[in-house]
Amino acid sequence: MRIAQATSARRVAEVLAGKSLAYAEGETDAVVRDLTSGTLRHLGTLRAVIVQLAPRGVADPLLEALLAVGLYQLQHTRAATHAIVDQAVAAARNLGFERAAGFVNAALRRFLRERDVLLATARRDPEGRWSHPRWWIDHLRAQYGDAADGILEVGAMHPPMALRVNRRRIEPEAYRRLLAEQAIEWIDLPPDTLLLPKPVPVRRLPGFAEGLVSVQDAGAQWAARLLAPADGMRVLDACAAPGGKAAHLLELADVQLTALDADARRLESAQRNFDRLGLTARCIAADARRPDAWWDGQRFDRILLDAPCSGSGIVRRHPDARWLRRPTDLAGFAAAQGALLDALWPLLGAGGTLLYVTCSVFSEENSGVISAFLARHADVRPMPLEGFPAADGRLLPTAAHDGFFYALLGKNDAHSP
């Protein structure tokens, strides 16, 4: 545990210095992963406790991160408290804070004695209460009023695990029986998602390697349904990697799918997904904003634009994101999203539809981008989202699914007014 604490403290300190956790995606040590993610999810509260334990500040950001990891363990894990404290002291020495080991010991023991008061005081401050940066909290409040609290609350939860059954390989009812045989519980989430109340490692899912099922958030499963592909259509997924939504499209209909992504390595993982599921797509590593380099000139019937975004609807899956983003990033994302829409719109045939998606809850990246796009183009018709729970396209994150925004845009044919 000592090494895990020290490694997690390094990771947390790096995030606070501006480095994304993405480089650690291949982290094989489950303890390091859980400690790092958990500490980042609760970092606002933990820091507001540390301010009380060390009113003059903690000299080194790495030492502060180690304290945060120790406090997270004391508050949110079931390890024995004396072991957590002893190991944190040892980890402090291990990280070169020989003289601060006594302080770590005293601070963590004081937390155990005065926990209720320290936490109550921490939670009086918005960052301490919600564990998001202050600008983020204020921004959500300005856009959502009281509903902001629900969005922030979700950010502290463990992400849900949802499944999508590959109907090309097995009927959902038959897959439910396989889950039951393995004693894996599920909840049916309409229209056809299986939600696992207790997540399991992917390798435990029956038939995963054989392509019977995929792990995909329930909110993300709306993309293919809303785009409503039909046999024979030409479909473009312009930001396809790692291929979750593209695979769903291919499971729903026999379409000719072009799966494009600017990131060649991520696109390889999309190809692996298609192979596992027995699906075929034309994968192209290219920039969607430069169709001259990859488009054959034949228009598409459907386009999916799952645009790069702040990820503010999926913060519990990427607990570093909230601490890395800056308020000024939103304008940059909105500009890139608008540029992608402008570049892709001419590729859509008359009478076709484009589905715009983000996993963000910030309106700058959602309704803001769509309104500006509508103002720039005369041949766009916003279309209703059939069966979707929110008419305005805003699917707010809950315990059961992540947060998404959807806008379905129809292209008027040449004869429309």
Ligand X SMILES: C[S@@+](CC[C@H](N)C(=O)[O-])C[C@H]1O[C@@H](n2cnc3c(N)ncnc32)[C@H](O)[C@@H]1O
Binding site for ligand X (CB under 6 A): 238-245, 260-263, 266, 287-289, 306, 308
C-beta closer to ligand X: residue 85 or 314: 314
Name the H helices within 145-263. 147-154, 172-181, 222-227, 244-252
CB of 320 to ligand X, least distance (A): 16
CB of 330 to ligand X, least distance (A): 16
The dihedral through the CA atoms of 223, 226, 228, 234 has a sign that is negative
Strand partners, 302: 235, 353
CB of 300 to ligand X, least distance (A): 15
Name the burial class of residue 34, with classes exposed (0-12), middle (13-18) and buried (19+) by CB atoms within 10 angstroms of its CB.
Answer: middle
Strands 234-237 and 404-411, bridge-based pairing: unpaired
CB of 332 to ligand X, least distance (A): 12
The active-site residue out of 239, 283, 309, 359 is 359
Strand partners, 381: 410
C-beta closer to ligand X: residue 71 or 305: 305
C-beta closer to ligand X: residue 228 or 262: 262
CA distance 142 to 135: 10
Strands 300-306 and 394-395, bridge-based pairing: unpaired
DSSP 354-411: EEEEES---GGGTHHHHHHHHHH-SSEEEE--TT-S-TTSEE---SSS--EEEEEEEE
CB of 398 to ligand X, least distance (A): 19
CA distance 56 to 62: 16
The residue of the chain with the least Cβ separation from ligand X equals: 239
Q: Please say if 359 is a catalytic residue.
A: yes
Contacts of 61 (CB under 8 A, 6+ apart): 13, 16, 17
CB atoms within 10 A of CB 289: 15
C-beta closer to ligand X: residue 11 or 164: 164
CA distance 115 to 379: 60
C-beta closer to ligand X: residue 119 or 357: 357
Name the burial class of residue 17, with classes exposed (0-12), middle (13-18) and buried (19+) by CB atoms within 10 angstroms of its CB.
Answer: exposed
C-beta closer to ligand X: residue 128 or 291: 291
CB of 306 to ligand X, least distance (A): 4
Which sequence positions are flagged as catalytic? 359
